[in-house]
Amino acid sequence: MVNATELYPNTPTPDLDVSDWDFDPGYNLLMGEYQSSVFMYLNTTLNPASIVCGSIVCSILLAIRAYDKSLVDRVSLRLTAVVSAVDVIKAAVYIIFTYIVTPGAACSTTAWLVLFLTNLYTFLSVAIAFNLQWIFLHKNQIHRHLEAAYFSVSITLAFITTIPPLAAGRLGYDPFYGSCWFRSYSSKTTIAWEWGTFLSWNLLGSIYCFFVVVAVILRLRQNVSILGAYTSSKASPDATSQEKSKKTLRLLRKLVVRISMYALIPIITQGGWYISEIILQFQHRLDIGITYWVISGTDLPGVLNLIAFCMDPAISNALSAVKLAMIDTYGDANSPNAKDHKFKAWITRTFLGSKQLHTNDSLFYPMSESDNMNSSDTVVDIDLQHLPLTHYPATGKSGPSSSRGSTAAINQGSQYYKMPWIGNANEENGTSRYSEGDEEKIRTVLRGL
């Protein structure tokens, strides 16, 4: 039997054979004094910012919902709200995590909270990605039970993957790792535990989110190209249609940027952590550069999610709708509403503007409750007369046929535009017919984004 202390003088398990899975070589993975002070400074500076930003997202959504539920009544925004709430709680836990450096129940509980909240964040991000795939890529409708599954499955998986290491006593303080995480960090058993309960789930989830969003971006780029060709063609009947097409083109480009940000957030915030853990486990060294990425990245989700949230066209639409309604109700100083609610009238006229004639030529349309109950998870509603998805040149023949759940075609002059995800559409003599329920679906182009 090889003397373990001769090979690994710092091993905390000298009585075990080096081939034993519970043997811990005791690699020194501690940061220096300077790095530790920077770590504490970043944690106590960036995490409060994440708390503030995550709270802003939740507050805006709650305020708009209280004003008019239909403006933000979408699955993707409810998922965003929960993700922001998780960001707030996780940031608070990280601040506590910074100051707990001794073994005990508080240490193991903090380690479990970090593990649980990180896994929950990833599972919710996967739910957002799956929602995009289900609705936008596969053109399916979303139902209440599927929305409930997004939340219930994410929370259940977070508990299932994190309770076992806590119950088995694998979480706690490791003096060679320098913080409350997995105990006996360098042992094969701990490495297996971390991969089984943390790394594999988060790596697979991040990869899945990335590829789904890449597919969505490619689809949007295709739509942008088609719309661009349509805008420059003679198919547009008048200048108004041309202008609406250009606005739709700009909108789609904004959506590409917004979705790209949602794809980058998990990679930016979590990617460094995965790389660092792999280096620590298999190269047994601390990479200071990546460690700074880990610290700053894990502290920033709330800030980055607020930036992506503010770029969501649906939020701009909702805020614009609230602004116009406030001006219409309280913008006239001589109106009865303004006289009865002087403070609201003052706020409106001071910060929003006075009442005047407003023309609403927006490409956005607020979503009604009936739309939501019919499982139309809508972010942006656009008049399909100004957004062809697949172009069929004039051939003198009727457009492509379709059936429920597949595609439909709209006849504009002598050109046909194939509309996926519309319900019933049948062409007779070059015209399209839609059922009454499908008329509302025609207005929905980018559902679930």
Instruction: Say which amino acid occupies 384.
Output: L
Distance CA 337, CA 350 (A): 16
Instruction: Say which amino acid occupies 37.
Output: S
Stretches in the chain below the pLDDT threshold 70: 1-2, 224, 226-242, 244-246, 248-249, 251-253, 255-257, 259-260, 355-449
Distance CA 400, CA 420 (A): 12
Q: Which domains does the chain have, with CATH numbers?
A: 1-26 (no CATH), 27-320 (1.20.1070.10), 321-352 (no CATH), 369-447 (no CATH)
Dmax (CA) of the chain: 95
Question: pLDDT value at position 188?
Answer: 93
Asked if 244 contacts 386 with a C-beta cutoff of 8 angstroms, the reply is yes
* Length of the chain as a residue count: 449
Question: pLDDT value at position 395?
Answer: 40
Distance CA 58, CA 370 (A): 24
Q: The pTM is what?
A: 0.77
Question: pLDDT value at position 155?
Answer: 97
Question: pLDDT value at position 48?
Answer: 96
Distance CA 362, CA 346 (A): 27
Distance CA 180, CA 318 (A): 43
Q: Rounded to 5 degrees, what angle do the CA atoms 348, 351, 353 make?
A: 65
Question: pLDDT value at position 52?
Answer: 97
Question: pLDDT value at position 427?
Answer: 35
Structural element, H or E, at residue 392: strand 390-392
Structural element, H or E, at residue 92: helix 75-99
Q: Is 72 exposed, middle or buried (0-12, 13-18, 19+ CB in 10 A)?
A: buried
